[in-house]
Amino acid sequence: MVHIPEYKGPRVRARELGLPLGRFKPGKYNAITDVEGVLVGHCTLIKGEGPLRPGHGPVRTGVTAIMPNMGNIFMERMTGGGFVLNGAGEVSGMTQLMEWGLIETPILLTNTMAVGAVSDGVARHLVERYPGIGDEHDVIIPVVGECDDSWLNDISGRHVREEHVFEAIRNAASGPVAEGNVGGGTGMVTCDFKGGIGTSSRKLPEVLGGYTLGVLVMSNFGKMHNLRVGGLPVGEVLAEKFKGAPTRGKTYGSIIAVVATDAPLLSHQINRLCKRVGLGIGRVGSYAAHGSGEIVVGFSTANIIPRRTQKMVYKLKLLLDQRLDPLYEAVMEATEEAILNAICMATSMTGANGNHCPALPLDEVRRFVDACKPIFASVKKRPQQSSAPASREKPTDEDREGEVTVSTARPTQVRGAEG
Q: Catalytic site residues?
A: 254, 292, 294
Contacts of 144 (CB under 8 A, 6+ apart): 91, 92, 93, 107, 108, 109, 110, 115, 118, 119, 122
Alpha carbons 64 and 146: distance in angstroms, whole number: 10
Decide: 28 and 34 in contact? Cβ < 8 Å: yes
Any alpha helices (H) in 266-361, and if so which ranges?
267-283, 325-345
Cα-Cα-Cα-Cα dihedral of 84, 86, 88, 92, to 10°? 0
CA angle 18, 20, 22 (to 5 degrees): 135
Angle at which helices 115-129 and 162-170 cross, to 10°: 60
Between the alpha carbon of residue 372 and those of residues 30, 239, 262, 380, the distances in Å are 24, 20, 36, 14
Q: For the chain, how big is the Rg over CA atoms in Å? A: 22
**Cβ proximity of 292 and 331 under 8 Å:** no
Residue 93: DSSP 8-state: T
Question: What does residue 275 show for φ and ψ, rounded to 5 degrees?
Answer: -60, -40
Instruction: Tell me phi and psi for residue 304, to 5 degrees.
Output: -105, 125
Of 256, 271, 396, 279, the C-alpha closest to 330 is 279
